[in-house]
Structure 1
Amino acid sequence: MKKIFITDLDHTFLRTDLSLSDYTKESWNRVAKYSIMSVATARTYKKTLQFIKDIEINAPMILLDGALIATVEKKIIQTKFVGKEIGDAIIDEGARFGIYPFILSLADASLREIFSYSTTLNAHQQEVLKNYKNDDHHNRQTNLRAMDDNFKIVYFGDEELLRPLAAHLQELFGDTLKYILAPEAYVGCYFLTILHKDADKSHGIRSVSEYVGFDLGKLTVFGDNFNDVGMFELAGVSVAVANAQDGVKKSAKVVLPHTNDEDAVAKYLESLSHGSR
């Protein structure tokens, strides 16, 4: 039976400058000839395709922290949405803390995405937006409201603000939602992601496993941040890169000596010496 390899993108597979080395591309594509290969990321469908255009993906992708499972060919396998009513309620509660979120939503069945945000932005949010200035799916609003089908709602800010906001939202909405609070390495702040209660990488892994028909014991996953821990708990082999959060390393079966900027995933794949055959 084929082995399966699924990797997180940011700070795991991608370098910090969001590139992939030729070595990583060649190593990944070599293993893909005899293995099942995919990605599990917080990124959108459109953004993910930009990063993986030179590598082989032969299984559905886990996108938007598990809120969307889709193939490269735009076949939607599964979606987990936060509805408009609860989305608007989250926005209103955040406003009481003086902050408004970014909202990633689905516009139609062709996977056209909408990126909504308020005209009121903090410095961290302004910095994040610089990476999306050329995207064509912006929806800037003076009075921010959610769409009908929202993949995730994300706040960027100081930990001192987001931690009490997360606690407040959990008190209000309980386990009807999922909350991820973690450091944001690119901007140097924290992020708070709010999703459907079943939108996470672990549920995504199970969905891909059922769709493709593979044994989770044959699965190896790679990651660096706390939203990867769920899939670490399911996989036969869980691998943390050297730059992973300490708590993530404690959950991993393997901790690599190399960082994402040192082709950690590719070097691990090469070390298997074609043992995946």
Structure 2
Amino acid sequence: MRDHIPVVVRGRGRRGRRAGLAGVLWAAAELTVTVGMVVLLLVVHQVWWTNRQALAGARDEVRALERAWVAPGATPGPESEGDAREEPGAQGAVVPSAPAGARPSSSASAGAGASAGSPTRAAGPVAEPGRDRSYAVLRIPRLGLEVPVAQGVDKKAVLDKGYVGHYPGTAQPGAEGNFALAGHRNTHGEPFRYLNRLRVGDEVTVDVRGQRYTYVVGRVLPETTARDTGVIAPVPRSVVKPEYGYSAPGAYLTLTTCTPEYTSTYRLVVWGTLKR
């Protein structure tokens, strides 16, 4: 009779635990790579693809406005008079809301100055446009910028389309008061990306159906808070940094965007006055 020899089944022990840990680490590494690729694709979409889409859309809108201005029965616009056109540069910002108590102005100043090489046009009143609707073209020669201006500063309906937005409650182009605009500095067409390159004396033009208003840059506020509503007041003056701004009534232009780049912490402000 054979002796019964017990068989001992050994556990996997340390080797098994190590194999399990390696599997967990491998799965975590795969997950990290996958998440990283998704984030990278989102960044590419946000920074590159949205820029292409918004920039192309903004260019098309400028041409559509110019065609409408020279349509039969319409007042001839700047395009029909042989003005030179420059391709837009590239930028973003949602900036302070209009100050309480500010009222829109629709009366334009007569005899607004025109840019060099363009005849002076009689400036009539600019009617209050519909909400989120484009109605003007902003041109900044130093930046090679040409971008539509729409009523309102809603992100989805205006700014994210690559347009520049007009603050409701501020003056219209050429009018007494403050014609205040906001635009993205990064992503979505980034029309104001290089706003910091503007210098005192630079000209900025605004075309509105056969009328051209030329503003001359006078002052720059490099940084202020997002709640500094004084910068878009009828007589613009920073309430955060009172040494920046104006003290007398006039016809002003205000351009606002985010700063530093790729953040929305502060606001960069450029002011100009109407060239009479």
Report the TM range for the smaller structure's normalisation: under 0.3
Q: Report which of the two structures shows the higher radius of gyration computed on alpha carbons.
A: 2
Q: Which has the higher helix share?
A: 1
Higher relative contact order structure (alpha carbons within 8 Å, sequence separation ≥ 6): 1
The TM-score, its normalising length taken from structure 2, stands at: 0.23
The TM-score, its normalising length taken from structure 1, stands at: 0.23
